[in-house]
Structures are given as C-alpha cells and as structure tokens.
Chain A
Amino acid sequence: MKCEELLAMLNEYVDGTVDPTVCAEFEEHMAGCNPCQVVVDNIRQTITLYKDGQPYTMPVKFRAHLHEVLRQKWREKHPVTTGDEEKSEHQP
C-alpha cells in the first residue's frame, strides 16, 4: 500500500468500516510510515476535539419564546373543539 492509497481509505479506517484484509495492510503501512501514522492520529484528535468540545447552549429566553411560538402555531393547526383532549391548552 502506498501513502496515496492509504489516504483514499482514511475515512473507512478511522470509522472502523474498512474490511479486515485492507485493515491489516493499512496498519502494516502505518507501522513503517511515521507521517501516515501521525496523520491518522491527528485526524482522530481533530474529530474528538470537535465532537467533545463545548457545545453551544440555546439561550433560556429564546427557548421559552420558541415553545410559545410553537404552541400558538399548534393551536392554529389543531383548533380545540369541546370535549377534545387539548382542553388544558386553553389559557384563562
């Protein structure tokens, strides 16, 4: 396996979806090619950093607003008829 071939299969290897024969070749190449080994490590770290990094949190105020908008829209779509289960949605 050449570096270029390894590069083309990088996704499958990092995601663990490469088939076992290819996987063995991949690892054999990395054992003898430090740059490829480091690139694979870097890619894994890049993904981890984005995945586990601090998430953005929705502002509480906006969340309240969002749910109010949605409830209003819901009521337009589901007009409450007498005896319907959505009685609790009536505002006094």
Chain B
Amino acid sequence: MPDSVDTEITDAELVRRAKAGELEAFETLTSRHEQRVFALAMRMLRQEHDAEDVTQQTFLSVLENLESFRGEASFSTWVLRIAAHAALKIIRKRKGLPTVYLEETTEPDGYDSVPHPEYIADWSRSPDQLAAQNEVRRLLDEALTRLDEKHRLIFLLRDVEGLSVRETAEALELSEANVKVRLLRARLQLREELTRVLGDPGKQLPRSHHRHE
C-alpha cells in the first residue's frame, strides 16, 4: 500500500490526481474502498471466489470509467453502485436470468404490502454479546440470503455501509420512495427471522394485541 500518500487527503482529491495520471492516487483509492466492496460482495454472494470476481471487476471498471466520473455522487457511492451491479449480475447468472437491473415496477410499492410483525419478544442477549458468536454470524448470513437480492442490497448499502437513503437510491437507480419501502420490508423481515431465534420465549408478546391497537 502506498503510504506516502497522506490519509487526510479526500477521495475527491485522489480522484483528481488519479485522473491526472498518478497511479499512487488510484492505488490509495482502491485500498480505501476494496474491503467494503469485498464485504458487500461476500454478503451478497456468500462465496469467496465470486466476491473476489466482483471486487476485481469493480476496480477494473473504476479504472476504465474514472474519466467519466464527474463527482455528482461521492466516490464511495459510485464504487458501491458498480459493485452492486456486478454482484447482481452474478446472482442473475446463477439463476439463469437475463441481467436486467432493478426495475421498479415488479412489486407493490405501498406500505400496505409491508408484513406485520408476527413474533414479538425481547432478545435474551445484547447485540454485543451475540455478535461474537459464530452461530449468530451464520444466522445473520442465512437471514440475509432469504431476502431477495434487491431488498438485501438496499439493507446492506443503507444499514451496513451507511449510505443515506438518497445515496442508496442513486447507487441502485431507484426512487427514494422505493428504497424506503423496500428498506422497511427488509428490516422487518430480518427482525422477524432473528427474533424467532434470538428472542426470549418467556417474553413473547401476543401479536393479536398488536394487530389492532
């Protein structure tokens, strides 16, 4: 890793330098973002080999298209957008589907379609205590896998990578309204699955109570 480049330098400045032909600046940009890209790809694909493919494709594409990056979005959002599309492509290929992107019209968008919480219980342990356990990690990955890829991507970009709703919408070329409703579904579905395993059965609350007011 080129450590002569100051860590204080912004991505925007590094992009400018890379465009001007400084390899070192490009490598620093890569070093800054490669872990996030790889982690996103691992969570999407759950296979190291595929995650490596996505990571390599992403940074080759960054190199190829750097000239056309105008900086309307932040560099990291742009990189994650490329990575997201690369990951989706592999998923589509696995399923034998054409590699079309996240069309907005395939499902109901209203909040009416949001599933109501069914299993409601306090968790028996804190996230801190849970995070350290291998079986919890597996549970998290499996719950993610049961989300369809669009919901999974939205949850990962927004809640794990910390993009804003707007940035997530930009990265996936969706409307903000669409991102919001899908994010809500994703969060509720994950909550449901995790609570069924991590919830304290002794503290389960009746949902009938909840469905009315």
Binding site for B on A (CB under 8 A): 2-3, 7-8, 10-11, 14, 33-36, 38-39, 41-43, 45-59, 62-63, 66-67, 69-71, 73-74, 77-78, 84-86, 89
Shortest CB-to-CB span from B196 to chain A, Å, is: 11
A53/B159 in contact, CB under 8 A: no
Contacts of A71 in B (CB 8 A): 23, 27
Q: Which of B5-13, B78-86, B95-103, B205-213 contacts A (4 or more CB under 8 A)?
A: B205-213
Known: A7-B111, A42-B191, A66-B55. 20 other contacts (CB 8 A): A7-B188, A8-B111, A11-B183, A11-B187, A35-B206, A42-B122, A42-B194, A42-B195, A46-B191, A49-B127, A50-B159, A58-B55, A59-B48, A66-B56, A69-B56, A70-B63, A71-B27, A77-B63, A78-B21, A85-B22
Contacts of B127 in A (CB 8 A): 45, 48-49, 52
Determine if B169 is an interface residue (Cβ-Cβ < 8 Å). no
A74/B23 in contact, CB under 8 A: yes
Residues of B130-147 at the interface with A, using a CB-CB cut-off of 8 Å, are 130-131, 136-137, 140, 144
A49/B140 in contact, CB under 8 A: yes
The complex places the Cα of A80 from the Cα of B130 at a distance, in Å, of 53
A33 touching B210 in the complex, CB below 8 Å, given contacts A54-B131, A58-B38, A69-B56: yes
Contacts of A48 in B (CB 8 A): 127
B187/A63 in contact, CB under 8 A: no
The complex places the Cα of A29 from the Cα of B184 at a distance, in Å, of 19
Instruction: Give the number of chain B interface residues (Cβ < 8 Å).
Output: 60
The complex places the Cα of A58 from the Cα of B43 at a distance, in Å, of 12
B140/A50 in contact, CB under 8 A: yes
Contacts of A46 in B (CB 8 A): 187, 190-191, 194
Binding site for A on B (CB under 8 A): 21-23, 26-27, 30, 34-35, 38-39, 42-43, 48, 51-52, 55-56, 59-60, 63-64, 111, 114, 116-117, 120-123, 126-128, 130-131, 136-137, 140, 144, 155, 159-160, 162, 180, 183-184, 187-188, 190-191, 194-195, 199, 205-207, 209-213
Interface of A is mostly: helix
B137/A43 in contact, CB under 8 A: no
